[in-house]
Amino acid sequence: MFRKINGLDKQRDGTNTDSRITLDSLKNNKNLTHLIEEIRKKTITLEKENCKIEYTWIKAHAGHYVNELADKLAKEATRNSDICYNKFPESEIEHQERQKSMEKWQQQWDHATEGLTTKEFFPNIKDRLKTKFNLTPSFTAMTTAHGKTRSYLHRFKITEFPECPCANGNQTADHLLYQCNKLNSDREAPTGYISTEDNWPAKKTRVGDQISKTVYRFYKLN
């Protein structure tokens, strides 16, 4: 499009494009990317010279000769090592830097020796950032294994015994989540939710991603 408006004569002329994104970008005053700004500047210059410019969308691959020719030239340009345009929009640079940061963060998380329980719930940083949680003390205790469970308190000699009142093992976060028979009725909702797609007990990634709101209701630390 930029090359075409560069070659316009001082007359009324139309510029066709099959890119709705380009047309929307030209209308968006907040879009200040280099090429869009160059198109705007050239348009203003031509209009000052009494050249009326109109931008029109046309359907791609519909037999428009000039549009097909433009596609052909664009494909040829991708195979040309002598690229004349070497600028990147700021948004692309930000995206690449964000990706690098995410990869570095993931590598650090993969090799971390602390937070192993949390890692079982959230092994993937990107997926965790996409998931919204209402962080409560109970949910934090469950995903860190730090909370008012008897097993945890027994480690610090706050309680005399680590066993759960259900008499079916030590009262750990996993025990409350998967095994404690005192919580069977509260466990029905998440069990039913998960069992439609997976078996119970489910992997902790499924618990964290899919049924966190339900887990809040039955994960009762005492």
Q: Please report the DSSP string for 92-155 in residue order.
A: HHHHHHHHHHHHHHHHHHHT-SS-HHHHHH---HHHHHHS-----HHHHHHHHT-SS-HHHHHH
Peptide bond between residue 201 and the one before it cis (omega within 30 degrees of 0): yes
How much is the average pLDDT of 33-58?
85
Q: Could you give the 3-state DSSP secondary structure of residue 182?
A: helix
pTM value? 0.56
**196 pLDDT higher than 80:** no
Percent pLDDT > 90 in the chain is: 20
Domains of the chain as residue ranges with CATH: 2-87 (3.30.420.10), 131-218 (no CATH)
Return all residues near 26 (Cβ < 8 A) that are at least 6 apart. Answer: 36, 39, 40, 55
How much is the average pLDDT of 95-116?
95
The radius of gyration computed from the CA coordinates of the chain, to the nearest angstrom, equals: 30
Predicted confidence band of residue 125 (pLDDT cuts 50, 70, 90): very high
Gap between the Cα atoms of 95 and 90, Å rounded: 9
pLDDT digits (tens, 9 = 90+) for 74-90: 888 778 777 666 667 77
